[in-house]
Amino acid sequence: MKLFGAPMPAPNPRRVRMFLAEKGIDLAETPLDLRKREHKSDDHKARNSLGQVPTLELDDGSHISETVAICRYFEEVQPEPPLFGRTPAEKARVDMWTRRAEFILMQPVGNFWRHAHPYTAALLTQYKDFGESNREIYAGAQGWLDRELAEREFLAGDAFTMADICALTTVDFADWIGLPIDAKHANLTAWHGRVSARPSAKA
């Protein structure tokens, strides 16, 4: 089994590394150099036709891509500790908050990264006004999440889950590209401190 990924600050491979660390699963990552476009090579596109990381290669030679799908595979392989919930209601809430982390948080961060950041200027046609407009959208998302975290320790409830992993990797990547947490959001800041203190956050 091989896990193809990329080092920090790439958020998606980090999600899988964090998940594996929380599970206590020892699987070394095979890194691809994104700046050298190794993820767009013919070899890697044979594993993942979209040329993205992470991608998991199973022992039978088949492949699984997309972070949540890879993590769900490992959840089935090793259910404890559960990171997608235990009961039907818990599982639904984790799915809900994972999707919210991807759409409400990551979408404006990704739009800013693609269309307003100098590192991506050579990779696509940038629409900078659109890219910059996502600052305000992400700021609004921070405020919403700060309010949501007022009465619970983690995104989906009392337990750390895949939703927190998705949110943390997004917030940290956002900070790296110039979209830090606004200091006025005390609940979001406290949550960030809690999840960043977990050993898996260093994965």
What is the predicted pLDDT for the residue at 146?
A: 98
Nearest by Cα to 70 from 111, 14, 31 = 14
User: Does residue 83 lie in a domain region?
Assistant: no
Counting as low any pLDDT under 50, the low residues of the chain are none
Assess whether 177 and 144 both reside in one domain.
Answer: yes
Looking at 26, 54, 77, the residue that finishes a domain is 77
For residue 59, the Cα-to-chain-centroid distance in whole angstroms is 25
**Pair 71, 114 in one domain:** no
Query: What per-residue confidence (pLDDT) applies to 160?
Result: 98
Report the share of the chain in percent with pLDDT over 70.
100
pLDDT at position 179 is: 98
Instruction: State the Cα–Cα distance between residues 191 and 194, nearest whole angstrom.
Output: 5
The domain that holds 16 is classified in CATH as: 3.40.30.10
**Same domain for 131 and 43:** no
pTM of the entire predicted model: 0.96
One domain, residues 72 and 92: no
- What is the extent of the structural domain holding 155? 88-202
